[in-house]
């Protein structure tokens, strides 16, 4: 397999988990019907709600949501990159922000737990303390696909180029960045950061995102789901609405760019480690 069609699902989840999932699975069906080989969901596609509500609704893995995602992947015969959702943990009062990958047979082939937690205050508009409610992950995760290995990250991880480089030196041809990115940072940082990570590592960056505020006041997500190619060209940018956007991922494009700009081969870890 040298090329695949990737579908980015852009959602506006609110506190009602059941309604959010009904809409997300309808968009998965829509993407598959349009011919997608890979389908990517955003971070928190299942629910955006106060911490207590999210904690109460968190699920184990395996659990009802992971099983439903597996069934959707198998039903449509697609690779499903399942954004992220709240995974129940043994730590009282905390969940993991977990991303799962399912192959076309519905087998779970990877699980990534968000490493970098979003603890910021932005001009009084956004206050987030993810470390108060989320257990950070401690593993760099890539999984094999017929197109090649792909890396897994979540949202705030985008600001840590060392994670993307760690994935690239493992041979990844693409990295997923499911996100629930804020409007204040999204306006100025979203596209430049995604393009930089793609250019630095000569790989595709695939970022399905949430949009809007889910009917709630306060936090509003930027949207603009993107696919960036290894040269830094934006292949698709979702419109400012709920829906599905499509792009093509081409292995030959990766090879051409890496031949022209072999920066991964020119690394000097012998110097950096000093």
Annotated active-site residue in 59, 94, 130, 155: 155
List, edge to edge, every strand of the sheet that includes 150-152. Answer: 141-143, 150-152, 174-176, 204-207, 226-228, 234-237
Give catalytic status of residue 94 as yes or no.
no
Query: Known catalytic residue: 114?
Result: yes
Supply the DSSP symbol for 130: G
Our answer to whether residue 155 is catalytic in this structure is yes
Q: What single-letter DSSP state applies at residue 62?
A: S
Q: How far apart (Å, rounded) are the C-alpha atoms in residues 140 and 238?
A: 28
Q: Residue 204's closest CA among 246, 267, 251?
A: 251
Task: Tell which residue, 176, 235, 219, has the closest CA to residue 12.
Answer: 219
Beta bridge partners of 248: 5
Using CA atoms, how far apart are residues 264 and 266, in angstroms rounded to an integer? 5
Catalytic residue among 17, 114, 130, 143: 114
Question: Catalytic one among 43, 59, 87, 130?
Answer: 43
The residues carrying an active-site annotation are: 43, 114, 155
């Amino acid at each position: 397999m040298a090329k695949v069609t990737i579908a980015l699902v852009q959602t506006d989840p609110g506190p009602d988990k059941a309604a959010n999932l009904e809409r997300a699975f309808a968009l998965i069906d829509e993407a598959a019907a349009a011919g997608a080989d890979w389908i990517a969901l955003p971070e928190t596609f299942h629910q955006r709600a106060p911490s207590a509500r999210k904690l109460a609704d968190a699920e184990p893995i395996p659990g009802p949501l992971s099983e439903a995602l597996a069934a959707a992947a198998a039903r449509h015969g697609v690779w499903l990159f399942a954004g992220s959702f709240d995974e129940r943990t043994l730590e009282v009062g905390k969940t993991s922000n977990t991303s799962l990958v399912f192959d076309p047979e519905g087998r779970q082939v990877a699980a990534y737990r968000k490493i970098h937690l979003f603890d910021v205050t932005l001009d009084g508009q956004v206050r987030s303390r993810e470390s108060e409610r989320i257990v950070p992950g401690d593993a760099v995760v890539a999984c094999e696909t017929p197109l090649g290995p792909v890396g897994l990250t979540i949202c705030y991880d985008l600001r840590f180029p060392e994670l993307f480089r760690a994935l690239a030196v493992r041979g990844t041809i693409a990295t997923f960045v499911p996100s629930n990115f804020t409007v204040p940072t999204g306006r100025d940082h979203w596209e430049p950061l995604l393009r930089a990570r793609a250019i630095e590592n000569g790989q595709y960056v695939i970022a399905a995102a949430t949009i809007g505020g889910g009917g709630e006041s306060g936090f509003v997500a930027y949207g603009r789901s993107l696919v960036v190619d290894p040269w830094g060209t934006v292949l698709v940018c979702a419109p400012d609405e709920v829906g599905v956007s499509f792009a093509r991922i081409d292995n030959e494009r990766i090879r051409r760019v890496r031949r022209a700009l072999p920066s991964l081969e020119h690394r000097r870890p012998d110097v950096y480690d000093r």
